[in-house]
Structure 1
Amino acid sequence: MRFVPASSRFLGFCALAATALGVAACNSGSSAQPQIPLTIVNEVLFLTDQQNSALRFDNGAVYHKGGLRGLIVVRQNAGSYLAFDRTCPYQPQDTCARVRIEPYLRLFDPCCQSQFGFTGQPQGGPATLPLRRYSTALSGNTLTITN
């Protein structure tokens, strides 16, 4: 049997207790605002398609299939695109919690009146969390959206 000094056992116990408290604190906060359920996203969007013509301009945005309630894709600039789930993070279980595009102005959930900028950050209304963001990869005129 190996001898472990009492001070090492105490430090190990403190680290374990701190971790447990941190996890408990995170879990207790999640009940206050429900999480958006995870879903697999693996979509391809062709920038040359006519239905994606709004993505030819900065802050242009389009709807695309995928995600929980659909995706919103936003062009930041010619080489940078963002993709968000349309599910509003404020009460995402509500069937009407679906974000819409107000062209070149903002993203908006008419159900709870939450407003979001084109980076997905909340700008008004009751939502305090940003829109769920997915990874994007640009190759030529093809944008791949994944999580």
Structure 2
Amino acid sequence: MAGLGLAACDSTNNAAEPQIPLTAFNTVLDLSNQQNSNLRFDNGAIYYPGGVRGLIVVRQSAGNYLAFERNCPYQPLDTCARVKIEPQVYLYDPCCKSQFTLQGQLISGPAIRPLRQYRTSLSGNLLTITN
């Protein structure tokens, strides 16, 4: 029973924490463009325009790409809440010191949520990212 009470408290705290604003977008990234050369190898990552504060695109493997919002889920309304890439290692917010895996999962907080992930679809050399 005590575990149920704790889960209820956690969901209340999550609800009180501000959410990343929603924005509609549909962007296409050309993987053959030299600016996107980091996406030619596994765990390579780049910054790309889109979303609320920009996107981070990560190549997991050939044909498998992930796209995340750069707006950190911890206090997302703070002007410095912008996630950065530590190449081939992890993603982090230098403002609050939260760290995330290259799959967007939380490593350490104060953030309590993973990064917001967007849909990706690959057709030839074109990667489409949508929310």
TM-score by length of 1: 0.79
Supply the AA of the counterpart residue of 1:78.
A
Aligned to 2:101: 117
Supply the AA of the counterpart residue of 1:81.
Y
Q: CA deviation at 1:33?
A: 1.6
Give the distance between the partners of 2:61 and 2:113, measured in 1 at CA: 24
* Aligned structure 1 segments of 4 or more residues deviating by more than 3 angstroms: 27-31
3-state secondary structure, aligned to 2:115:
coil
Give the distance between the partners of 2:78 and 2:126, measured in 1 at CA: 33
3-state secondary structure, aligned to 1:145:
strand
Aligned to 1:135: 119
| Residues 25-74 of structure 1 deviation map (CA, whole Å, 9 limit, x = unaligned) | 9x844443211110012110000011100000111000000000000000
Q: CA RMSD in A?
A: 1.6
Aligned to 2:70: 86
Q: CA deviation at 1:125?
A: 2.4
Matched, 1:64 2:48: yes
Give the distance between the partners of 1:37 and 1:48, measured in 2 at CA: 31
Aligned to 1:45: 29
Aligned to 1:33: 17
Q: CA deviation at 1:124?
A: 1.2
Which consecutive unaligned segments of at least 5 residues does structure 1 have? 1-24
TM-score by length of 2: 0.89
Give the distance between the partners of 1:122 and 1:93, measured in 2 at CA: 19
Which consecutive unaligned segments of at least 5 residues does structure 2 have? 1-8
Q: Percent identity?
A: 66
User: Which has more radius of gyration?
Assistant: 1
3-state secondary structure, aligned to 2:37:
helix
